Amino acid sequence: MLYVVGTPIGNIKEITYRAIEVLESVDYIAAEDTRRTAILLNEYNIKKPMICYQKFNERASSVKLIELLKDGKNIALVSDAGMPLISDPGHVLISELIESGMEYTVVGGPSAFVDALILSGLETAKFCMLGFLPEKKTEREKLLNDYSTVKCTLLFYSSVHDVDKDLEDLYEAFGGRKAAVVREISKIYEEVVRGTLGAMPDFVHKGEIVIAVEGATKSDFSDISITEHFEMYVRKGLNKKDAIKQVALDRGVKKSDIYSVVVKGE
């Protein structure tokens, strides 16, 4: 049996009894980073052989792990922190297990985006987890455009090296929506900074980061013209570019459509 095991995202004590029990009982532990996992195992005096399973060797490692499972071995799959497969390696292995008609199970545990959602103070009834933004500009713009009219809280993972650029691109795509930057979840220096895109308060650029963004609003602007709508935001202090962007978001249309009306007069 393969066990997909959730591990602590910060405080090393945030692990279930069942997770410890499974890690103690399996024959092998497949880990994203064996050095990081060794710290967890040493904390609970667990001695098990580990196999490196990361995105750079997923397919080759999956073949090895499936062979071990077919030989009757029990394996636990863990990531550096949180739940495997959630913006972490594991999907290739699971897909091949299903293709082979083999079973697996999940040993529940923490996941950073759930904690961040609650800490953000934004709407929790409906939310969408989008992981890390694509590296390519065109792919990033398409994804953000696709979700610009979604009426639920949006959650993104980010690194300390990318967070400023990510926030800029989110502002470019969504305008001045409410947002929160949550970092170092469940650790000593946990921090939650709440504000609006384009005007986020300063925060320490260290640790793992989750960005939470308010969903599209449900406001109905059908009773005013596009030009009146645009002028409303200009009076509020937005420059022409940001006002066009916000009108487009409000109405669920392309920025070029608004531009054609307010600038070109079409």
Kindly give the confidence (pLDDT) of every residue in the chain, 266 residues in length, as a single tens digit, with 9 standing for 90 and above. Answer: 999 999 999 899 999 999 999 999 999 999 999 999 999 999 999 999 999 998 888 889 999 999 999 999 999 999 999 999 998 889 999 999 999 899 999 998 888 999 999 999 999 999 999 999 999 999 999 999 889 888 899 999 999 999 999 999 998 888 888 999 999 999 999 999 999 998 899 999 999 999 999 998 766 676 788 888 888 888 888 888 888 888 887 776 778 888 888 876 65
- Which domains, from first to last, does the chain contain? 2-110 (3.40.1010.10), 113-213 (3.30.950.10), 226-262 (no CATH)
Contact between residue 154 and residue 173 where contact means Cβ atoms under 8 Å apart? no
Nearest CA to 48 out of 18, 81, 74 is that of: 74
| pTM for this prediction | 0.79
CA dist 106 → 2, 18, 66, 75, 192 (Å): 9, 11, 17, 12, 30
